[in-house]
Amino acid sequence: MNTLNLKIINDRIEQFVQERDWDQFHSVKNLTTALSVESSELVELFQWLSEVESNQAKQNPLLKSKVEDEVADVFVYLLRIISKMDIDLEKAVLNKIQKNAEKYPIEKARGKATKYSDF
């Protein structure tokens, strides 16, 4: 995975939005709704594929291109929400990993897809 420069990406998104005067439409509610829609469009690409087919999607140039577009849409909306909410993404992710480590201790969770409440 490549290293991302989130500042460059976020600045470009902000510029794009400002040039079109779209910030007026980008309430956190609207951005969250849009994120959900785009996530659903990503899900739709894999809806009828088998597990094996989904894991081989990167070998299908047309499907990979569609996935890239939807992943980008999801990421853009997520970045807009982060910006609007003044979230420190690095801190939030590291905090969530710690919370998950506590909910899913290695000795109980290793190799299992069980929800923590069912241990």
Considering the domain architecture, whether residues 46 and 74 belong to the same structural domain is answered as yes
pLDDT classification of 2: cutoffs 50, 70, 90: confident
Considering the domain architecture, whether residues 75 and 93 belong to the same structural domain is answered as no
Considering the domain architecture, whether residues 73 and 97 belong to the same structural domain is answered as no
Assigned token pair, 7: 């500042």
- What is the DSSP code string of 19-81? HTT-GGG--HHHHHHHHHHHHHHHHHHHTT--HHHHHTGGG-HHHHHHHHHHHHHHHHHHHHH
Considering the domain architecture, whether residues 77 and 101 belong to the same structural domain is answered as no
Considering the domain architecture, whether residues 71 and 23 belong to the same structural domain is answered as yes
Residue 100 near residue 106 (C-beta atoms within 8 A):
no
CB atoms closer than 10 angstroms to residue 27: 11
Q: Supply the range of the domain harboring residue 104.
A: 88-119
Considering the domain architecture, whether residues 47 and 101 belong to the same structural domain is answered as no
Q: Is the dihedral of CA 61, 67, 73, 78 positive or negative?
A: negative
Considering the domain architecture, whether residues 42 and 99 belong to the same structural domain is answered as no
Q: Taking residues 18-47, what's their average pLDDT?
A: 98
* Per-residue pLDDT tens over the stretch 49-85: 999 999 999 999 999 999 999 999 999 999 999 999 9
Q: Is the pLDDT assigned to residue 1 strictly greater than 90?
A: no
* Per-residue pLDDT tens over the stretch 75-114: 999 999 999 999 999 999 999 999 999 999 999 999 999 9
